[in-house]
Each structure stands twice: as C-alpha cells, then as structure tokens.
Amino acid sequence: MQWLKVGLFCSIFALGACQTVAPTKQQRPQLPDATENRNLAEKRIQQKQNKPIIALVLGSGGARGYAHIGVIQVLEQAGIKPDFIVGSSAGSIVGSIYASGKNSKQLEQIALDMKAADVRDIKVGLKGFFDGQKVEDYVNKQVNAQTLEHLRIPMYVVATELKEGKRVVFNSGNTGQAVRASIAIPSMFIPTKIADKEYVDGGLVSPVPVNVARQLGADIVIAVDILAQPVNTQTSNMWGLFNQNINIMQSQLAEQELGKADIVIQPDLQSKTHIFDVSMRQETIEAGHQAAQLKLKQLQHLAEQQQVQAISP
C-alpha cells in the first residue's frame, strides 16, 4: 500500500516506488487475457509430472510490507523459488523487485537504504495529495526498467479499477506504473490513470490475492498476510478510526481468500499501529523471518516434494 515516513512516506517497501520511464515510452500495464492464462495452464500441464507450480502471494499492509522480505529470506534458505508471484499494494512493491532478479539480501539492503525523498511527492489535488510518480520511478529503477512480462519471475500486480470497483490484474507493461496503481490509497494518493481509466489500491478488493493465484493455475499457494488486526488498532482518535475502518474491511476480505491457501504466514506486527509507521524497518523484516520460520517444517516438506517430483521419471 504505501511507504511514507511521518505521513510522507509514499508506498515503497510497504505499500505502496533514477531513471524515469514515461508511460508514453514504455508499454502501459495490460490486463491478463486468455493468452496469458492459457500459457500458464500449458506450463502447469508440462510441469505436473515433475513438480507442483508454486505461487507466492504477498498481501497489502502499508509499512508492514517490510515483513515480506523476511519471509522471502526463509523461502530462499529452504530452497523454494516461486513459479510466479501475485502482489497487492505493499506486496506488489516487494514482489516486483524480487521478481526482477534481486535476492533477499539485496531486497533488505534496498529497503534499509531507501529514503523518504526517493518516493515522496506531494501534489495536492481534489482526489488526493500524493501523486505516486516517484513510486513509479523508484520501482522502475530497482527493476532496471524491465516491463512486467520481462521480469525473471512472472509477476501479477493487483489493483482496483475505480469507476466500477473491479479487481484488475496487470501482467505486462510498465512495472512501476502497475505498482503505482496498486498502492494508490483512495483520498490519499491521486488515482493512477492508465488508458483512460483510473486505478487505486489493490487492497480494497483483494488484500491477500490468493484467488488470483488459483485462477492462474497454482498447485500450491504460499500466502503472506501482513494486515493489521482490528483488535490491535487504537480507535481513540480520527486517524485510529480511519485505520480501523480499513482493517475491518480488509480482514473480512482476506479471511475469505486465506482459506484457499496451502501455507499462510502471518507475521506478528502488533506494534505497527498504522500503515505509515516505518520507524522499525529491521524489526519488521525480522518479524516476517520469524513467522516464516514457524512454518519451516511445512516449507521444507514442500521443498522435498519438489525435489522428489523433479527426479521422478
């Protein structure tokens, strides 16, 4: 969803982006069509006798998105590499940079080195006061200006089409622009305009997009849920009430999808009282690492299953 420091950290390595890639010079994000779905289905059939197709689903959650990095660290240690990644809001930032070829150590360094000025752009308007262009530019810089279809790991970015409130999934074109759409929290970020349509935060409709992964042919889904739990949210002021409204809505949506995941990783992030708190980046990464460690036996079993099926005739 976003990454702002002291209310100004615009969405990177949490929720949410040096070379600017203008939309007119780089293909705009496109929605997946039957071709992409068929390609994944064919891949699924081809691999079925060797190993299951694994999807890593990275959910929304503001500055809690740093925890995704800790989870990826454990997956690497267990020898698990996803066949594709689905990311919503914060998850789209971490997922896209990881999919570009960065490893977990590089992800952590990028997160710790990032400065608010790298992604912060205030542009007060009737529809919001954060533009999101710097987020787009930052992500494109980190992925070396690769478009979604050219990332090393197939990447699917979830956003919400504003007019009809529909979930959309970007899987080709300008990576940074797709992420910019996915992290655009309504009333805070100005909606991202793509091909005459406006897009906002993917977490509004699919905070942990397990259903997308299933629809794309995943045999096994590893889902990372970093949402704030309503019970841990302070509601003594206007900001707390705003958070609570979001938390209640997203928790209900996420519950419906998490039941369809094979492995659910939920970092303990109670100390993260709001989506813009980025004061404890290292601790948040460690929370993700610890939560994934609790699922290590399941992950190791999954890795063993991959190895056995890969050598089976």
Catalytic residue among 201, 206, 225, 277: 201
Question: How many CA atoms lie within 13 Å of 45's alpha carbon, on the beta-carbon side?
Answer: 5
- Tokens 């793509």, residue? 194
**Distance separating alpha carbons of residues 216 and 89, to the nearest angstrom:** 19
CB 59 within 8 A of CB 227: yes
**Residue 89 annotated among the catalytic residues of the structure:** yes
Catalytic residue among 11, 88, 89, 206: 89
In sequence order, what are the residues at sequence separation of 6 or more whose Cβ sits closer than 8 angstroms to the Cβ of residue 18?
Answer: 118, 137, 138, 141
**Distance separating alpha carbons of residues 130 and 74, to the nearest angstrom:** 34
Q: Which residues, listed in sequence order, are joined to residue 172 by a DSSP beta bridge?
A: 30
**Distance separating alpha carbons of residues 213 and 147, to the nearest angstrom:** 20
Q: Residue 1: which of 17, 16, 23 has the closest Cα?
A: 16
In sequence order, what are the residues at sequence separation of 6 or more whose Cβ sits closer than 8 angstroms to the Cβ of residue 56?
Answer: 72, 75, 82, 84, 85, 86, 95, 222, 224
Q: Where are the beta strands (DSSP E) in 92-246?
A: 122-125, 128-130, 155-161, 166-170, 192-194, 197-200, 220-224
Catalytic residues: 89, 201
